[in-house]
Structure 1
């Protein structure tokens, strides 16, 4: 059984050309800095016409290896935070299966312990 992180942005106005370029830049930058070649990173779906205001959506399958979990969660949530800040006026939902990930204006999307160095070391992470 796998766990995935899902992210969706809704807004009545479609992406502007500038926003679309920002999304492309953010995705490329975060893909280049992702810590594991063999794990799934930020994945944004192609948008079809008529998606009822959905301007961005994607998902990331979380790794099974405990030592890789926190670095992947932190990297992907940092990416989604940057995407949210680039897309003004959108309503966002970010969740890991049934668990909503809270938004914090100063920190962005975070989960408790995701940057805890001691916990990462205990799990065998980076």
Structure 2
């Protein structure tokens, strides 16, 4: 059974040129730092890189299938959530929805998108042991 992170942003106004450039920059830089070449990284659906809002006001949307290997799950999930945090900070005034299948991922103004315990070393130790 696979688990994915889904992310979307909605607002009435389409992305500006500056925002489109910022989104492209986030996609490029986060792809370079992705921890595993053979896993799925940040992925925006076709037409969501600088296009106008759709009929529902959606300006960005994408998803990432998470690995099934527990040793890879934490680094990939953390990287994807950090990437979506960077996207949110690059695109102002939008209503974001980020969820792990049917569980919403909370937004923290200081930390961005985080899951409780994700960056806790005890979780890594528990998975290793």
TM-score tier after normalising by the smaller chain length? over 0.9
Pair 1:60 & 2:64 matched: yes
Instruction: Give the aligned partner of residue 10 of structure 1.
Output: 10
TM-score with structure 1 length normalisation?
0.92
Q: Determine which of 90, 110, 113 is the counterpart of 2:94.
A: 90
Residue 117 of structure 1, CA deviation: 2.4
Instruction: Give the aligned partner of residue 23 of structure 1.
Output: 23
CA-based RMSD? 1.4
TM-score with structure 2 length normalisation?
0.90
CA distance in 1, matches of 2:14, 2:109: 24
**1:14 alignment partner, SS class:** coil
Unaligned runs of 5+ in 2: none
Instruction: Give the aligned partner of residue 41 of structure 1.
Output: 41
For these two proteins, the number of residue pairs brought into alignment is 124
Instruction: Give the aligned partner of residue 122 of structure 2.
Output: 118
